Structure formats: C-alpha cells, structure tokens
DNA sequence: GTAGATAGATAAATCGATTTACTAAACCGG
DNA sequence: CCGGTTTAGTAAATCGATTTATCTATCTAC
C-alpha cells in the first residue's frame, strides 16, 4: 500500500536517485535513451507515484492556490471560484476551496492551515475580523488577494464591485418610477459590502431630496428578518419598494410575502443585489444587480499570479461595475 | 519572509530541536516549566510558524480530506460539501474542495494531485469515467467514498439517493392526477443518477399499464435541450406533464416555456429532481424531489473517517430516500 | 600523447519537521 | 553511598524528494 519511493525506482532501473529525479523533471539533456527507457519501465512495473510533499518541502512551493470563501453555498462564491480555478489550470497550479462559513475563527484556522501547508498564495473573501492576521501576511510579503469585501486600513490587492454606485442607481430608478417610500433590508452591517450598499441607498434618497426614514431601514440576521419585515409592513405608511441587500435577504423576503399573500411587482417593487441562478424563471417583475463574478475571479487570479511570480506592483483596489437587470 | 525554522527556535530558546518538537506536540511529560516558557517566548519573538509539509512528510498523514465535486456551482454539491466539512472539523481534519467540472480528465488530474499531496482520504462525486483509476485506489486500500453517483462493478463505499424509487413515485403521482402523456427530459445518460431516474420513469408507466413513448423521452445536453423541447411540443399529442431530471434541465425548460408564453402548472405540470434554492419563491405549482444533502454528506464523512481509522467494514452502498415536495 | 571539452551519471547535502534511543543529573530508600 | 528509578533533555536517523558539486569515460584537437 503506497510505499514505492524514488529509491526503489532507482534500484529497479539500476541507476541513481538523482537520475530518476532528473527524469521526472524532464531534464533529459544529459541522459541516454537507454537510461530513460529503463527508468520508464521501472516506474511502470513498480507503479511508482511521486510524493509531492517531499518535492514541495525541497522546492518551497506547492503549486497550490487556496481560496477561502465566506460561504460556499453562495452562488456568487462558487462562480468566482470556478473562474479562479480556470485561470490557474492553464499554469498547472491547482486550486483548493475552503469554507469559512462567515466565521472569523474558522477563517483564521483555514488561513493558518493553508499557510502551514505552504500554499503558494491565497484568495480570500474576508470576514474582516482578523485584521492582525491579514496584516502579518501582507507584511511578510505573502501573496494574497481579497475578493468581494474591502478591509479598511489594509494595503492589499482587492477585487470588489461598486456596491455604493450600483445601489445608488437602483434606488434612483425606484425614485424615477415614482416611489417615495423605499425600504432597505440588510443583514448586520459587519462587512463592507453591506455598509456600502446602505450608503448608496442613503445617498440616492438625499440627492433626490427625500428623507431617510430609519424605520425603513431594517438590519437583521436572516432568522430575525421576517419579524422585522412584519414590523416594517405594519407601519402606517408602508413602503412601496424595497431593496434586498443580498440573495439571502431576498429569500426571507420571498417567504414573508408568500405568507402574507403579497406579490412581487404588484404589492411591492423589489431590487435584489446578487446573482440568482433561477431569477429568469421567476414570473415577476423583479430587478437584479448582477456582479460580474467570472471576470472578478479571473482578475483576482491574475493579481495573485503576479504576486507569486514576484512581478511586484503596488497593491490596488479593482472595482468592477455591476449591471442592473 | 517566512524562514524561521524549528532550529532557529531551538537556538533562541537554548534547547534542542527535539525539545521544541515535543513542545509543539504538547508532550509536556518530561519538560520543566522553565523550558516550556523559554520555548514559548522564542516562538513568539521569532514569529515561528511550523511547516506542515515537513511534519506530514515524516508522519505520513496530512490531516487533510479531499472532496472532488462534479460541479461546484450545483447547490447540491455545496450542501454536501458543507456537511462533510462540519463533520471533519470536530476531529481537526481540514477539507479541501476541488471542482472536476464533470470532466473525467480534470477528475483524474485532481485525484492524482490530491493523492500525491497525500491527503488522508477522498470523497468523490464520480464522473464514472476513470474506472481504472478508481480500482487502483480501492485495491491499494486508499480511503475513498463515492457520493451521489454509483459506479458499476466497483466494491466501494457509496452514498446515494434512491433515484429510481423517488422518480417512480413522482410519475405515479402524475398518473393519479390523470396525466397520460408524461415526458421525461434528461442530460446524456452518462452517469448512474440519470439512468436510474429514467428507469423509475419507465417502470411507473409500465406498472400503470401506460405505454412508454420514445418521443416523450428527450436526452440532450443543456445547450441542445431547447431544440429538443421544441420538437417535443410540436408533436401531435403534446405532453401534459414533464419530469426534469435535474436543476439544469429545469432552467432550460423554464427559459423555453417563458419564450413560448407557457406557464408551469397551467400549461404543463412539472416535477424537478433537485434541491433548488429559490424553489419556494416560484409562484407556481411545481414539485421538487429533495435529496437529504446534509445527511448524505455527514454519512459519507463518517464512512471515510472509519476507513481512515482502519475500522474496516466491508464496503456498502447507503441509499437515502428523497422527499417529494 | 596529452590537455581540455563534453556527455552521462552519481554522491551527498538539503528541505524542516518527528521520533527513537540514549545520556546525564537528580532523587531516593536502605 | 550505591544501585535503581525518574526527570529532563539531546543526538542522530528518518521521511522522500531536489539539486549541486563532482567524477569518469570518451571524444577532440593539436
């Protein structure tokens, strides 16, 4: 059970370990055709499989890229991950995905684990709660790219969407359509994406000369969302439009409306911030803000690859526009 | 930049490497409080981080579990992965996910990569096209569990859903509701799940004394699905019900119906085999066959863990029932 | 015929940990 | 104070590759 080593191959082929290693690394320059064949045969008959741990230990690189997603069941995360994977595939770097589950402790554990395992670089959807750790990575010059969320006071490559701007436009659109009572539903304001979206909302209202009504802003975790929606819709002046700050908020909203017998488009105009796989099937008049997930993934991968190759530029924040549909 | 080794710590603390190693592995039996503190300080001042490659090389285990999913953007895969991850988290084993993208070559590459990287075990959503490789793993006693799809003639632990049975029931339900012309849409019959679902369909029709009309069975890749649906709905006797063999088929169907101005429930009764995240929001009378993804993941993880611990049982196939909703 | 170049292959050091076998000092009872 | 046990710590082998410096034999040129 798995114990054929290079030494065994060398013995079988009647050559030295070094020569076998040369062969494996395709350095055929100074190697006779005969030796090559002998090694080939030996590998075959023994069923030799190289041990990458040993190789990586010596070479100080693993040809592995780590992705730490905030939540693996988010469609956006998986789309980004796939794009990253496709990019690195062409350079024979492999990708592993870990799921931090929006839990800073888990995130920390995974970062430490992946670094201890010597992955060549890291792409992170940061929880934003491990600043010390982030800083130490960056100071040590370890290749890292942040995706989706910005972390304040950190000089690091980041790839994000223009959250404020696209929310602004969506709200503006509501206003143009005559809406005056526009609500905003969001999960706790712990990450930059949520905060920026809220900013866009407020700015759009202000710029249109509308008052920001705190009762129309509901900030709650998903399990508590329905209760908050209940409160929102028992106000004297009910909102006629609502901005759902991401897909999970949207689901909670959908369940709520269904219970109340209300309909999207008819009883409430809704915009959702996110890519939703089945959106085109919903027979309603919803709008969605679509982030260019694939492009963002590819860009993040490129930025990481540059760092790994030590083609150093100064860290920059790449902002992608999103599309309202 | 990252080069503090155990030897450095040992020098700094004025002890030997061995002692530092003992400390790191929490074998404090024969170690004075003073030494312990000196080592602690040394690690702190130097910012030492152990290199797991070296450790794993020696220990011959990596505390890493590999998951190879057929398609990472499938909700079902991510749900299963999360459950697996949760399970192993409690034993301090970490999980990495690789995306084979339903491509046997990629699958092969990832299996070989993960094995070369010495992961302790593998959970695979098999493409079914790498039998030789599967066999060699199993013969070598390498810990493996297959999920979602069965591979013929292979004595391996598998966790699957009762595809035939639940499809049977769904079709039976159609029949009880008076449907006689029931269609079945599926991607190419390359994996067991699709084949078994088709079997359930045929069996239900047969048992009800209905004829299996080959024109009602459409087998096409997603890009070609719409064209095939076109043909299906230009038949003289159009189907009144349709079974979509998975979520991607369902999306294609949804787009098709939208184009034609047809409505779910009204113009066509539909059952979908899969967990669809936004299903509860669709304002239609669709039915879904839900697989117990989390339970399946946990079970697969358990089976793998037993193998890793060498608590050997004979390979078994665990079949989970799914629920029609 | 000899110095130098070249082709083909190897020995040995190395990567950074773990682990086993061993030693040295302290302790302890009679 | 002597032999045996504990306690505390270490040297050296090891894991399985890569890589560098070295070596030998053959070839070439003058």
Q: DSSP letters of B16-79?
A: -HHHHHHHHTT--TT--HHHHHHHHHHHHHHT----HHHHHHHHT---EEEEEES-TT-HHHHH
> Strand D: which nucleotides have any atom within 7 A of a protein Cβ?
7-12, 14-21
pLDDT for A30: 73
Contact between A78 and B81 using a beta-carbon 8 Å cutoff: no
Residue B321, both tokens = 């029932």
* pLDDT value for B283: 60
A251 has pLDDT over 90 = no
Could you tell me the two tokens for A132? Answer: 């010390």
Query: Which residues in chain B have Cβ-Cβ distances shorter than 8 Å to A78?
Result: 72-73, 78
Average pLDDT of A84-90? Answer: 93
Do both B242 and B273 map to the same domain?
yes
Q: How far apart are CA B104 and CA B100, in angstroms?
A: 7
A306 and A259 co-located in one domain: no
Q: Which residues of A touch B282 (CB under 8 A)?
A: 278, 281-283
Best mutation target, B64, B85, B278, to test chain A (most A CBs within 10 A):
B278
Residues B174 and B242 in one domain: yes
| Residue A41 sits in the same domain as residue A67 | no
pLDDT one-digit tens code per residue, B53-73: 999 999 999 999 999 999 888
Q: How many domains does chain A have?
A: 3
From chain A, the residues in CB contact with B72 under 8 A are: 78, 81-82, 97
Does residue B177 lie within any of the structural domains? yes
Best to test chain B binding among A44, A78, A92, A110 (most B CBs inside 10 Å): A78
- Assess if residue A42 is contained within a domain: yes
Give the nucleotide with minimal C1' distance to the Cα of A60: C15
Q: Do B100 and B212 share a domain, yes or no?
A: no
CA distance A270 to A241: 6
CA-CA distance, A167 to B282, in Å (whole number)? 25
If asked whether residues B248 and B174 sit together in one domain, one would say: yes
**CB spacing of B57 vs A50 below 8 angstroms:** no
Cβ contact A96:B98 at 8 Å: yes
Question: Residue B78's closest chain A neighbor by CA?
Answer: A73
Confidence of residue A325 (pLDDT cuts 50, 70, 90): confident
Q: Are A287 and A308 in contact (CB under 8 A)?
A: no
Closest residue to A282, CB basis, from B98, B263, B282: B282
pLDDT surpasses 90 at A72: no
- Considering only CB atoms, A117 lies closest to which of B52, B95, B106, namely B52
Three-state DSSP class for residue A6: helix
| Contact between residue B113 and residue B100 where contact means Cβ atoms under 8 Å apart | no
Which CATH number do you get for residue B22?
Answer: 1.10.260.40
Q: What is the pLDDT of residue B259?
A: 87
Collapse the DSSP code of B244 into the 3-class scheme (helix H, G, I; strand E, B; otherwise coil) and give the result: strand
CATH number at residue B126: 3.40.50.2300
Note whether B277 contacts A1, CB cutoff 8 Å.
Answer: no
Which residue's entry shows tokens 């710029």? Answer: A207
Q: Is the pLDDT of residue A221 over 60?
A: yes
Report residue A175 as tokens. Answer: 């206003």
Give, for B288, the enclosing helix (H) or strand (E): strand B287-290
For A73, name the nearest residue in chain B, comparing CA atoms only: B78
Cα gap A147→B300, rounded to integer Å = 31
A55 assigned to some structural domain? no
pLDDT at A306 over 60: yes
Residue nearest to nucleotide C13 (CA to C1'): A58
A220: pLDDT strictly greater than 60? yes
Number of Cβ pairs closer than 8 Å across A and B?
Answer: 148
| A248 and A136 within one domain | no
Nucleotides of C under 7 A from a protein CB: 7-12, 14-21
Max mean pLDDT among A98-102, A266-270, A295-299, B32-36 falls in: A295-299
Query: Any idea which nucleotide's C1' is nearest the CA of B15?
Result: D9
Q: What is the pLDDT of residue B325?
A: 81
pLDDT bucket at A140, cuts 50 / 70 / 90:
confident
- Residue at A90 is within a domain: yes
Question: Does residue B271 share a domain with residue B198?
Answer: yes
**A278/B280 CB distance under 8 A:** no
- Same domain, yes or no, for A190 and A249? yes
Question: Is the distance between the Cβ of B278 and the closest atom of strand D smaller than 7 Å?
Answer: no
Chain-wide mean pLDDT for chain A? 91
In a domain, A180, yes or no: yes
- Whether B56 is covered by a domain: the verdict is no
Report d(CA B202, CA B193) in Å as an integer.
Answer: 15
pLDDT of A277 > 90? The answer is: no
Indicate if B127 and B190 belong to the same structural domain. no
CB A276 within 8 A of CB A247: yes
Distance, CA of A2 to C1' of C7, in Å: 35
Please say if the pLDDT value at position A216 is more than 90.
yes
Residue at A70 is within a domain: yes
B3 touches strand D (CB under 7 A): no
pLDDT per residue as tens digits for the range B263-319: 888 899 999 998 777 776 766 678 899 999 999 999 999 999 999 998 878 999 999
Q: Are residue A101 and residue A45 in the same domain, yes or no? A: no
* Residue of chain B whose Cα is closest to the Cα of A106: B89
Q: Does the CB of A45 sit below 7 A from strand D?
A: no
Ordered per-residue pLDDT tens for chain B, 325 residues: 458 999 999 999 999 999 999 999 888 877 888 889 999 999 999 999 999 999 999 999 999 999 999 988 888 999 999 999 999 989 989 899 999 988 999 999 999 989 988 999 999 999 999 999 999 999 888 999 999 999 989 999 999 999 999 999 999 999 999 999 999 999 999 999 999 999 999 999 999 999 999 999 999 999 999 999 999 999 999 999 999 998 889 989 988 988 888 888 889 999 999 877 777 676 667 889 999 999 999 999 999 999 999 887 899 999 999 998 8
Query: What does the alpha-carbon distance between residue B148 and residue B79 come to, in Å, rounded to a whole number?
Result: 12
Q: Which domain holds residue A17?
A: 6-50
Residue A247 located in a structural domain: yes
Q: Do A49 and B115 touch (CB under 8 A)?
A: yes
Q: What is the pLDDT of residue A121?
A: 96
B142 Cα to chain A: minimum distance (Å) = 8
Specify the pLDDT at position B276: 76
Please give the share of chain A, as a percent, with pLDDT higher than 90: 74
Are B152 and B298 members of one domain?
Answer: yes
H helical segments located in chain B: 6-13, 17-24, 33-46, 52-59, 75-89, 104-116, 131-139, 163-176, 192-207, 222-232, 247-260, 293-308
């Amino acid at each position: 059970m798995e114990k054929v080593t290079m030494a065994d191959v060398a013995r079988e082929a009647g050559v030295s370990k070094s020569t076998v290693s040369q062969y494996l690394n395709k350095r055929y320059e100074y190697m006779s055709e005969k030796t090559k064949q002998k090694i080939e045969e030996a590998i075959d008959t023994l069923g030799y499989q190289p041990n990458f741990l040993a190789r990586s230990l010596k070479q100080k690189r693993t040809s592995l890229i780590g992705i730490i997603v905030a939540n693996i069941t988010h469609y956006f995360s998986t789309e980004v991950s796939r794009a990253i994977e496709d990019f690195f595939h062409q350079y024979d770097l492999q990708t592993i995905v870990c799921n931090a589950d929006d839990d800073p402790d888990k995130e920390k554990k995974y970062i430490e684990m992946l670094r201890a395992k010597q992955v060549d670089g890291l792409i992170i959807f940061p929880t934003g709660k491990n600043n010390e750790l982030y800083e130490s990575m960056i100071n040590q010059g370890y290749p890292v790219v942040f995706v989706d969320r910005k972390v304040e006071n950190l000089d690091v490559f980041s790839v994000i969407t223009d959250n404020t701007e696209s929310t602004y436009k969506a709200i503006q659109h509501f206003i143009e359509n005559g809406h005056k009572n526009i609500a905003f539903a969001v999960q706790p304001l712990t990450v930059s994406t949520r905060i920026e979206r809220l900013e866009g909302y407020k700015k759009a209202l202000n710029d249109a000369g509308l008052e920001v009504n705190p009762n129309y802003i509901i900030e709650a975790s998903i399990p508590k969302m329905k209760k908050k929606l209940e409160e929102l819709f028992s106000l004297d002046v009910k909102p006629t439009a609502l901005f759902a700050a991401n897909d999970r908020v949207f689901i909670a909203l959908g369940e709520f409306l269904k219970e109340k017998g209300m309909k999207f488009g008819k009883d409430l105009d809704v915009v959702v911030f996110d890519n939703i796989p089945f959106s085109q099937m919903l027979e309603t008049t919803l709008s969605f803000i679509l982030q260019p997930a694939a492009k963002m993934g590819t860009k993040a991968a490129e930025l990481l690859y540059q760092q790994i190759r030590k083609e150093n530029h100064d860290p920059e924040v790449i902002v992608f526009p999103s599309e309202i549909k």
